[in-house]
Amino acid sequence: MSRKKFVAGNWKMNTTSAGAKALASGVRDQLAGFDRADVALCPPFPYLSLVADAVRGTAIAVGAQNVFPEPQGAFTGEVNAEMLLDVGCRYVIVGHSERRTIIGEKDELINRKVRHAIQHGLHVIFCIGETLEQREANQTESVLDNQLTWGLREVPKDQVDRLIIAYEPVWAIGTGRNATAQQAQQAHVFIRWRFSQIYDNDSAQRLVIQYGGSVKPENAAELMSQPDVDGALVGGASLKADSFVAIVRAAAG
Ligand code: PGA
């Protein structure tokens, strides 16, 4: 089954309004007319609207890096799915390891976020991945199994086409040390198999599974040539239009 590759740039807590505009316009101009891979830019909340304006009318989508699973109301500092849709988001990243470890998000909250975002029509990039310690203790598959089981709890089958999974081994994020193509492929096969158990084989075959963790122009083609690596979630290398676009082009083969 051929799945269209999907490359998303996770800008994390970087850029300024001028920098965000320049980066989004740079990516837009370099990718004019390109449609051989799906592309999304995920800036910080304050720059979502201006990035949405910069890519309006193109195939480039916009995503947020977080969402809070409640309707409008007294939730100081939080932003819900309706607001993200209102400012032009198609995607939202949920379960990123930085939010799990630095902010302390637990599986239960992550699951509520996944359900809330999907129910409201956002496409969710759901991140999972093991730490180095867990990999060395041979726990990679049980960690992925757990994160999938918890994160997808009560996510109905008729909504899973709005789900993307990003396999992001924690030891590869921001370290310059990417997983090998074989390590990524092996984890992705496991994730697809587990997904087929939770839902069904057809949904699992359609599922787009991104790899994330030190993806660069130099390693992107090899990683994404693996049959189950359907794209990339890119942090550091998404902060320069040239390197991000090179990764997008590598995805398209
Ligand atoms: P990195 O980050 O590409 O800088 O390793 C990836 C991510 O955290 O999504």
> Would residue 96 show up in a list of annotated catalytic residues for this protein?
yes
Q: What's the CATH code of the domain at 170?
A: 3.20.20.70
In terms of pTM, does the model score above 0.85?
Answer: yes
Q: Which two tokens stand for residue 240?
A: 């320069």
> Would residue 168 show up in a list of annotated catalytic residues for this protein?
yes
Residue tagged active-site, from 116, 123, 168, 188: 168
Residue whose CA is closest, atom 2 of ligand 1?
235
Using DSSP's 3-state secondary structure scheme, residue 220 falls into helix
In a domain, 1, yes or no: no
In a domain, 159, yes or no: yes
Residue whose CA is closest, atom 9 of ligand 1?
235
Instruction: Indicate the top mutation candidate among 97, 98, 215 to test ligand 1's pocket, ranked by most ligand atoms within 8 A of CB.
Output: 215
In a domain, 14, yes or no: yes
The domain in which residue 114 lies consists of: 6-251
Q: pLDDT tens string for the chain (253 positions)?
A: 689 999 999 999 999 999 999 999 999 999 999 999 999 999 999 999 999 999 999 999 999 999 999 999 999 999 999 999 999 999 999 999 999 999 999 999 999 999 999 999 999 999 999 999 999 999 999 999 999 999 999 999 999 999 999 999 999 999 999 999 999 999 999 999 999 999 999 999 999 999 999 999 999 999 999 999 999 999 999 999 999 999 999 999 8
